[in-house]
Structure 1
């Protein structure tokens, strides 16, 4: 592990935040419609925006979620004109939306991995929340669950979802509490969270694993120190134990490098060497 320093292009709202083509947050970032753009999804604004790879204040184009698309809380590009997302109030694990905001196809189902039988669709979406990623070619998408030790890999060609539990099935303990619009999930802060990020390359899935509770995180500033690696078909490849805690990962498989954001008092970018066998 080593520390690195880089110069970054920072995308921030202008003083007139709230105008068209502005965003307030970046929930996911991926390559855009061309090599010179990036696509940023804002879960707060419910917008998908295209930005050029140079410092700018406004997006060059922007799609506002509407109709049933507004239910999606994590979104990635699927085809040239459609999007794939995780949604609340849906039985489906993944939903495909067109630019008009209509759901045009669905894949898989949200799993009730708990022992409770009183969960509605919103509660099922809550316990199935996770980190959503895809490789650059968009051949495979994956979800790393926050509240259970599960990875799901979606094969776009076969329209199938491979489900993997990294150990005997576990989940964060929770209860249901009443609110104005119904019951919502309330998490046990002494119970562990599981995955913290996921990254896909053209050959592998890298999933950052925590296993620490909110109480442990607040006390020790340790979020995740383990990375599981799988093939795109879902076969186990490797498990890495890191020497420092990080919150997210990025992978350059050509350089055999993995990067993360440290969780100590002075957070920074850390670099890890990957085994050469992952280049194959």
Structure 2
């Protein structure tokens, strides 16, 4: 599949130049931190919150919006894919997300996105390549508006809302790391190169840098993207590689932070429908950053360090690292619940996590 077909028709000329390797801006700096350089961990004690739910919760993602927790379900449901929980009264409000392909319907309830609009949250349906807006105040389970915004599907791997009704995305193929797009399908800017992620890295035995294709590197470095409230800074954190990109979108600058291990996982090159993909050694593979929160002056990253099979165990529990936007580690928090996601109330200094223990639910951590 030619790379330019992954972008909307209006941008083919720009992307074709990128595919040919023309003038891709490079990352600005590379920082590394180790376990020994981390601050002394601050122990946080979590409290399971009871919202009076009459059903078992299996949370996948969480978003804080106007003192409501928006919680996406991890299990497959016909309807009610996203739950709204009121923090003020600590009660269940309702669920949204009618299953289907029709107007206002979705087939999957995550990732959750915040465009900054009051009382509105978004779901990017990765099965339909569709963005759906839901109102906290509306009583319907349907989305109040939706768009694809593209002439053909855009193979997005990570996305969040940016400034002025734009999106910052990673794509499944091509050397370019980041594209800023508007909802009409125009490319505003592009910057960063996946190839630079191999600088100074030791590849697994038998893997040669010159043989690797961009889609393999993009897949190897997959992870979530989150924007700060003002949409001026973004953070991307790797799921299988312990890296964090700190992104200044206006200046097209990226600081990449590696740690606390700073090494690539073991993998071999496999082929899937004509594309290179990393085949991991599952006996050695561990999860790195499970989730991130980009705040006003700092951001938080949820670190695992365990295999997928061990993710729910109560030993070697998750940690939270807090960084400033220059890449400096500010705080190191040790949690007492296994989490797969979290969000932060910066004003009240509270963390709300979604647990992956035997009784999954919402866990409150107080930073005061």
* 1:96-135 matched pairs, under 5 angstroms: 96-110=180-194, 111-112=197-198, 113=201, 115=203, 116=207, 117=209, 118-135=211-228
> Kindly tell me: are residues 41 and 182 of structure 1, through their superposed partners in 2, closer, same or farther at Cα, counting changes over 3 Å?
closer
Corresponding residue of 2:122: 39
**1:199 counterpart = 2:307:** no
Out of 86, 97, 103, which is 1:12 matched to? Answer: 97
CA RMSD of aligned residues (A): 2.2
* Alpha-carbon distance, 1:103 to partner: 2.8
How many correspondences in the alignment? 272
Corresponding residue of 1:136: 229
Cα deviation code 1:15-47 (max 9, x no counterpart): xx1102221123332334631221222222211
Cα deviation code 1:73-92 (max 9, x no counterpart): 22222233321111111212
Corresponding residue of 1:59: 143
Runs of 5+ consecutive residues of structure 1 not aligned to the other structure = none
> Kindly tell me: are residues 222 and 235 of structure 1, through their superposed partners in 2, closer, same or farther at Cα, counting changes over 3 Å?
same
Tell me, in whole angstroms, the C-alpha distance in 1 between the residues paired with 2:319 and 2:335.
6
Tell me, in whole angstroms, the C-alpha distance in 2 between the residues paired with 1:187 and 1:206.
27
Corresponding residue of 2:311: 217
**1:227 counterpart = 2:327:** no
Tell me, in whole angstroms, the C-alpha distance in 2 between the residues paired with 1:208 and 1:8.
28
Cα deviation code 1:164-195 (max 9, x no counterpart): 11234122221122333233221221221211
Tell me, in whole angstroms, the C-alpha distance in 1 between the residues paired with 2:339 and 2:365.
11
Corresponding residue of 1:244: 337
Tell me, in whole angstroms, the C-alpha distance in 2 between the residues paired with 1:264 and 1:26.
21
Tell me, in whole angstroms, the C-alpha distance in 2 between the residues paired with 1:60 and 1:186.
40
> Kindly tell me: are residues 72 and 257 of structure 1, through their superposed partners in 2, closer, same or farther at Cα, counting changes over 3 Å?
same
**1:49 counterpart = 2:132:** yes
> Kindly tell me: are residues 31 and 126 of structure 1, through their superposed partners in 2, closer, same or farther at Cα, counting changes over 3 Å?
closer
- For residue 96 of structure 2, give the secondary structure of its aligned residue in structure 1: coil
Higher relative contact order (CA 8 A, sep 6+): 2
Corresponding residue of 1:178: 271
Out of 144, 147, 158, which is 1:74 matched to? Answer: 158
**1:262 counterpart = 2:349:** no
Runs of 5+ consecutive residues of structure 2 not aligned to the other structure = 1-45, 52-91
Corresponding residue of 1:26: 109
TM-score, length basis structure 2: 0.68
* Alpha-carbon distance, 1:268 to partner: 1.0
**1:150 counterpart = 2:213:** no
Corresponding residue of 2:179: 95
- For residue 154 of structure 1, give the secondary structure of its aligned residue in structure 2: strand
